[in-house]
Amino acid sequence: MYKEFSYIYDKLMKTQVDYNLLVLNLLKICKKNNLYIEDILECAMGTGMLTEKFLEKNFNVDGFDISSDMLAVAYNRLEKFQNKNIFKADVRYFNIDKKYDLILCLFDCVNYLKTLNDIEKFLNNVYIKMKEDSIFFFDLNSEYKLKKYLGNNIFINEQMDIFYTWENFFKKTYIDFKINFFIKEKNFYKRIEETQRQYIYSEEEIEKIIQKVGFKKVEKLDFDTFEKVNKKSYRILYILKKQK
Q: Which residues bind ligand SAM (CB under 6 A)?
A: 2, 13, 44-46, 49-50, 65-67, 70, 90-92, 106-109, 112
Please report how close the Cβ of residue 166 comes to ligand SAM at its closest, in angstroms: 14
- Measured from the CB atom, the residue of 29 and 217 that comes closer to ligand SAM is 29
Sheet holding 162-170, edge to edge: 154-159, 162-170, 174-185, 188-199
Please report how close the Cβ of residue 216 comes to ligand SAM at its closest, in angstroms: 26
The residue with its CB nearest to ligand SAM is 46
- Measured from the CB atom, the residue of 70 and 86 that comes closer to ligand SAM is 70
Please report how close the Cβ of residue 184 comes to ligand SAM at its closest, in angstroms: 23
Please report how close the Cβ of residue 9 comes to ligand SAM at its closest, in angstroms: 7
- Measured from the CB atom, the residue of 109 and 210 that comes closer to ligand SAM is 109
- Measured from the CB atom, the residue of 39 and 42 that comes closer to ligand SAM is 42
Picking from 55, 52, 57, the residue whose alpha carbon sits closest to that of residue 73 is 52
Picking from 78, 80, 21, the residue whose alpha carbon sits closest to that of residue 46 is 78
User: Which residues, 6+ apart, have CB-to-CB distance to 129 below 8 Å?
Assistant: 41, 96, 98, 99, 100, 103
Angle formed by the axes of helices 49-56 and 19-32, nearest 10°: 60
Q: Give the integer Cα–Cα distance in Å for 141 and 109.
A: 9
